[in-house]
Structure 1
């Protein structure tokens, strides 16, 4: 079981909304909408994805990393490294 499993339906709903935002962006471009309006919507979709990513990371640390700490051994280092790498990817994006 993954850390997000209990909130899976919430994630699916949030991602469906983001998918709708991205489809709306495509329509805006197709309809030749004003570039600043499109950029505003790109920013909103980006923030929504970042919010999902941060929440997933929180749940990874609360569940997967905490579980590894409780078990001990090499898995702690692996899970912490995974979380650190994910944070680095988020910071760079």
Structure 2
């Protein structure tokens, strides 16, 4: 399954990933500087949320495209149950 992002979807996902990248860089720097544990954990939690949101956006877009493709008869030879199982596995990998 190829996920195709267009316009605002692509921009939104990339922004979330860049935000997470910056937050992780910040966490590394904070640890190296010996910053307060609470501040480090707060920043780490923010990075985790940003990654989760990006992952959910990617899966939601993929799910929408799969349903559209399946409705158009373009399921790449996959049954609906196989596609559902694969998407469920992907979704749960973020949980």
TM class, shorter-length: 0.7 to 0.9
Partner of 1:43: 45
**Which residue is 2:86 aligned to?**
82
What is the correspondence of 1:1-93 to structure 2 with a 5 Å cutoff?
Answer: 2-6=2-6, 7-71=9-73, 74-91=78-95
Structure 1 window deviating more from structure 2 (48-57 vs 9-18): it is 9-18
Q: Which runs of 5+ in 2 are unaligned?
A: none
How far off its partner does 1:65 sit? 3.2
| TM-score relative to the length of structure 1 | 0.81
- Aligned residue for 2:39, secondary structure, equals helix
Higher helix proportion (structure 1 or 2): 1
Aligned alpha-carbon RMSD (Å): 2.1
The alignment covers a number of residue pairs equal to 91
